Structure 1
Amino acid sequence: MFHSCWFWLSFLIFSTHGQTDPCPDLSHHKLNDTWRSTAVIAGSVYQNDVLLTEGWYRSVSGAGGTIPLTAPNSGTCGTKNPVWMNDTLPNTGETKNASMCAVVFFSKCFPTWSTVQVKNCGSFYVYYLTTPPGDYGYCFGTETKCPVGEISETGFTPGCINVDDVVFSVSITTGLEERRGPIKGIPNSDVINLEIKFEHNIKFTDDNVNPELFLYDVNWYININLLTNCSHSLIPYANLSTTHLSETCWRDTYRMNFLVKCEVRLRGFNGRILSVFRTSDFFEAGFKTDQTSYTVAESSSIDIKITLTVPLGCVYNVSLTIEKRYGFAETHCRTVIAVQTPGTDDCSTGGVSNEAVTFGDTNCGVSISHNDWNTTKSLTVYGASDNTVTTESRSSYIRLKFPGVIPHHLAWNNVLKQDILIVVDDADMNVLNNLCYSSNDPHMRTFDGKLWENQRLKEFLLYYNEPRLYWVHAMYQSCSRWSSATCNCGVAIRNNQALFVANFCDEKIGWRISQTRSNRYVEKSFCDDTHMIINKNGNSYTIILPTGTQISFSHYYSNNNRTFISSISIKPVSS
């Protein structure tokens, strides 16, 4: 009889309640009770809705937002007699009267109500609920809270994962960020600054982990120093991009060629720590070489590969169009990585040098612009010959440096690279016996050891290095008035336009002619030692070309009042 009276009262009420739209947020009540889930077993004390005020309700619990459409088990939904909907849900925008049932001891569908109104608001449903008698409670949802130590996107099943099983890694990439405002040091300027930034990449080992389940703590380090002014705590995943390391965090304290490290820790939405800090590898910010030491043979070369690991950056006038930025950067946002010998501000660009290494015609450096910063550059280093046969290698250090700055971008100012070791293997031992010579009679020997005779007069080419434009010529005359043998009487050595001549030949050369006056002069047509070095010891000469090739000869005065060169020898190098 009691249930029958409640049935007719409910019907009367549902037929007469107001027609106001219940979907707007302030037009319905919120239920956030996790005990209403069909997955929750009632305890020793039953929950119920005896104090529920009649009206429109929406469930916002993570357990679910709808009254179940099938009968739950008795004693579930945290109550003695769970109430469920024995009907279907309305379409979007529709309102319908839905049949309701209660699970009681003797029935899965005890008809305590005839209908409950339900409206489909698009992304959720609202229900017009009335107050039931004691020991009855409305069910909502089918999920339950994740166990302690597990999390999910909603905090409820499904998808709960153990936080101890959440493994992730952190890596670092670099790029540029655009900032409009003044140039540092020029407060009234208004330009577009392209500044260096470092970004972290967080990758979960399990691709099924939703990164939005966590809050994040992010710390940045340069070398081993924590940048406290650029640390972040309790950051939602959607805002992680704001935690990159900006140039303003370090520019006033550090210069490029430092090490950057990032560490990340996970938290729950209640702030509880869910993981240890996981740390990236150190990122070498600046420029690097493919090796830290190199070996080169005398008079050979190796290429040092130089790569920037971060962009140069640039500063543009706000009026400069995107199309014109490339050309502007090519001219104005450019720098040179220069090479130096430690302890000096210069380098040897070639020629015969006392240094272990030289740098040819590379202008002692490589040029890099904002547009091609990520293109690897090559610096060619030559092993200089010491012109001495030794069994030990020589070594030298070179230093790479930004000698100046990119205009208004101080991050690159006077950046240094750790000194690079260059080991120069001695090559003279390999050519000790590989001599080309012309000794009087004359007896000839080629570099490959072949012997032959030359009994012809006047001038002949002994040695020619085509890439370097080196020449060695020899002059021959008869050894005596009645002799059919020839002897060396002159030598000429040329490096491009630089010329050395030693001439002791008769003014007139021929067979069986009367003796004429002899030349006796040694001359050169250059002013310094960059083209060749001339070493004189009495009547002996050694001329050293920039590659290390040596030409040696000595002259003597014969008993027939003539001057001859006893032998001309050439000791080459590999190039």
Structure 2
Amino acid sequence: QMNKCGTQAPVWLSLKSESLPAPGESKWLTGCATWQVFFGGHKDCCLFRIPISVRNCGEFLVYLLQPTQGCMGYCAEVHTSVTLQAKRCSPEDADRVENKLAAVQDKLTSLALQPVITPELVQGRVHLKCTYSLPPSKLPLQYRVVWSHLSTPGKKEQIQQDAKLYDFSSRKAIAYAVYLLQVFCTVTAFTRDSLEQQSLPEESKGFYAGIKFLPESLQIAEDGKEHVLTVLSTIPIACPGHNDSCKITLQLSTEDLDRQSLAAPDVALSACQVELLRAPCAGGSCAAATVTVTAVTDLAGDGDRASRIRAEPLPRGDLLWRAYTPTDVKVTVRDLPTGNCYSFTDPHIITFDGWRYDNYKIGTFLLCRSVSRAFEVHVRQWDCGGRRSPTACNCGVAAR
């Protein structure tokens, strides 16, 4: 029941499909947290699962409890029907068992499981699969798989245990979706006879589950060159309905990171939306799209500026992506020196490349023109030196 033992989400030990360990043995059992997903919705007595190690010491039980999250807390009740009996063995039997267990432990310690996480689509639902090597051993081995993720930088939090597949489309995964980025699976091998004889836990490399940009940051210059930015999903795109296409539409936007600046962002994108269409997963990508990024040539010496590019899934389609926001891309734009040309007094003219000459003629002249965009400057000169000196002066300027 909810709100029991002084906590909103009590954690209790489910023994429906499991049993307590025999005297002198230990077992991994499942602790269940009761929770009501939505107000007025269905109550799930085992929505969150927490692994609990239980050792039977004969006259009492020892529990190894994992840290809980949020409002969850452990409940303890005394049941007089549970009887514990200690089992005694002779010294000769104990030595024989100890030597056998030591030999088994040496074999388990040398195992190389090498777990790897791969995404896959199972009956329209996104799953992460933990694959590991099966060593050529004659021992009756079993394997325990524990899933975890980085809840905060440097802190891992356990999600699920004893499952090769992690259902990324479940309600629990959606609740984690805001920060469920780096996912890990840890595999431990143990013998069926004794849980105490087990291999060293082997953890997989972190698997980034979600949408990301490549490269993760850009450093570009105001030189007009285009830079390709790839947006990809590392997990398959599920089809939310029969009439919907298997895609995710991302709205792209740019923002200047200098809050004191009122100028527009220093970067321009080739598109404001991109679509991630479902494709076979290969090379860490299950769907990808590209967009080009260009630094805006603003003809101003405003120094280096930083902007960010954001992507936001449009509010339709799969529920998994509605509350998800990919990590931003930081773009640093290096300011380049701006060229100058002059027309002054008689007028004397200095060109962009430093040449100097005089123009004493009267009329309208083209001072400069861009060959790549619609930009040019005209100047108008008239006689201002009289009869004695053939001197002209600038009297007007027009630019576009």
TM-score class, shorter-chain normalisation, is: 0.5 to 0.7
Amino acid at match of 1:354: A
Q: CA deviation at 1:278?
A: 1.4
Residue matched to 2:247:
333
Residue matched to 1:312:
237
Residue matched to 1:453:
358
Amino acid at match of 2:274: V
Is contact 2:254–2:265 with CA below 8 Å preserved after alignment?
no
C-alpha distance in 2 between matches for 1:211 and 1:297:
62
Amino acid at match of 1:424: V
Task: Give the TM-score, by structure 1 length.
Answer: 0.43
Rate the CA distance shift 1:358–1:399 in 2: closer, same or farther, 3 A. closer
Map 1:39-78 → 2, pairs under 5 A? none
Rate the CA distance shift 1:307–1:211 in 2: closer, same or farther, 3 A. farther
Residue matched to 1:402:
312
Is contact 2:277–2:287 with CA below 8 Å preserved after alignment?
no
Residue matched to 1:417:
326
Amino acid at match of 2:199: S
Aligned residues: 285
Larger CA Rg, structure 1 vs 2? 1
Map 1:327-476 → 2, pairs under 5 A? 329=245, 333-341=247-255, 354-360=263-269, 362-363=271-272, 365-371=273-279, 374-382=287-295, 385=298, 387-388=300-301, 393-396=304-307, 398=308, 400-407=310-317, 409-427=318-336, 430-431=337-338, 434-476=339-381
Rate the CA distance shift 1:334–1:167 in 2: closer, same or farther, 3 A. closer
Residue matched to 1:209:
136
Q: CA deviation at 1:385?
A: 4.2
Question: Can you give the 5+ residue segments of structure 1 that lack an aligned partner in the other structure?
Answer: 1-146, 152-160, 179-193, 234-239, 321-327, 345-351, 495-575
Deviations, residues 384-426 of structure 1 (Å, cap 9, x unaligned): 6483466xx4434x2523242341x111114223444433333
What is the alpha-carbon root mean square deviation over aligned residues?
A: 3.6
Indicate whether 1:259 and 2:182 are aligned: yes
Amino acid at match of 1:485: T
Deviations, residues 346-388 of structure 1 (Å, cap 9, x unaligned): xxxxxx961452325533x533233595335235152564834
C-alpha distance in 1 between matches for 2:130 and 2:138:
14
Q: CA deviation at 1:202?
A: 0.8
SS in 2 for 1:253: helix
Identity %, equivalent residues? 20
SS in 1 for 2:288: coil
Is contact 1:149–1:163 with CA below 8 Å preserved after alignment?
no
Amino acid at match of 1:197: H
Map 1:178-193 → 2, pairs under 5 A? 178=123
Q: CA deviation at 1:253?
A: 1.1
Is contact 2:269–2:291 with CA below 8 Å preserved after alignment?
no
Question: Can you give the 5+ residue segments of structure 2 that lack an aligned partner in the other structure?
Answer: 1-99, 151-155, 281-285
Map 1:101-112 → 2, pairs under 5 A? none
Rate the CA distance shift 1:414–1:486 in 2: closer, same or farther, 3 A. farther
Q: CA deviation at 1:198?
A: 0.6
Q: Which of 243, 247, 250 pairs up with 2:169?
A: 247
Task: Give the TM-score, by structure 2 length.
Answer: 0.60
Amino acid at match of 2:237: L
